[in-house]
Amino acid sequence: MLVTDGNGTPIGFHLAAAKHSEHKLAEQTLASVKVKQPRGRARTRPKHLCADRGYASRRFRTYLRKRGIVACIPDKRRPKSWKPKRGRPVQHDPELYKQRFIIERTFAWLGNYRRLLVRWDNSFSVYRGFFLLALAQLCLNRLLK
């Protein structure tokens, strides 16, 4: 899982096996975010979070609300007879959700590294090393532009 800033530069990540669901790993991924500020402590939480329907769980929304993060997560598709529960957002902000292409673009940049896309490595430490190398190259490319 990967967290990026508004320009698509990676600022946090968490690697795990594919058998875990996304919303369970999202808390660990958000805990890895540490952005240095010119003065004071490093920021550990983003202002907004745009995610797809895979993260639409009550537990994850409560976690984001407690941390003061504005969530832009569309609800899971429900039957027409379904009524929203009290306190649960009915719709997400479409203007904020348009920014989700930034993370999709970053995933496409990582897809250029075939070794990460296909995952030939049996060892997790080797895969993590190449993932870190790919992230370093992405960050370097973003800084040189």
Reduced to 3 states (helix: H, G, I; strand: E, B; else coil), residue 134 is: helix
Reduced to 3 states (helix: H, G, I; strand: E, B; else coil), residue 78 is: coil
Question: Hey, which residues does 143 pair with through a beta bridge?
Answer: none
Task: Tell me the H-state helices in 22-144.
Answer: 22-31, 58-67, 94-97, 101-111, 114-118, 124-144
Position 130 scores a pLDDT of 92
Position 92 scores a pLDDT of 67
Query: DSSP string spanning 85-102?
Result: PTTS-SS--HHHHGGGHH
Q: Which domain, by its residues, includes 120?
A: 2-144
CB 48 within 8 A of CB 69: yes
How do the pLDDT tens digits run along the chain, 145 residues long? 888 888 888 888 888 877 777 777 888 888 888 888 888 888 888 888 888 888 888 888 888 889 888 888 887 776 666 666 666 555 567 778 788 888 888 888 888 888 888 777 788 888 899 999 999 998 898 888 7
Report strand pairing: 10-13 vs 70-72. Answer: unpaired
Q: How many structural domains comprise the chain? A: 1
Question: Hey, which residues does 10 pair with through a beta bridge?
Answer: 4
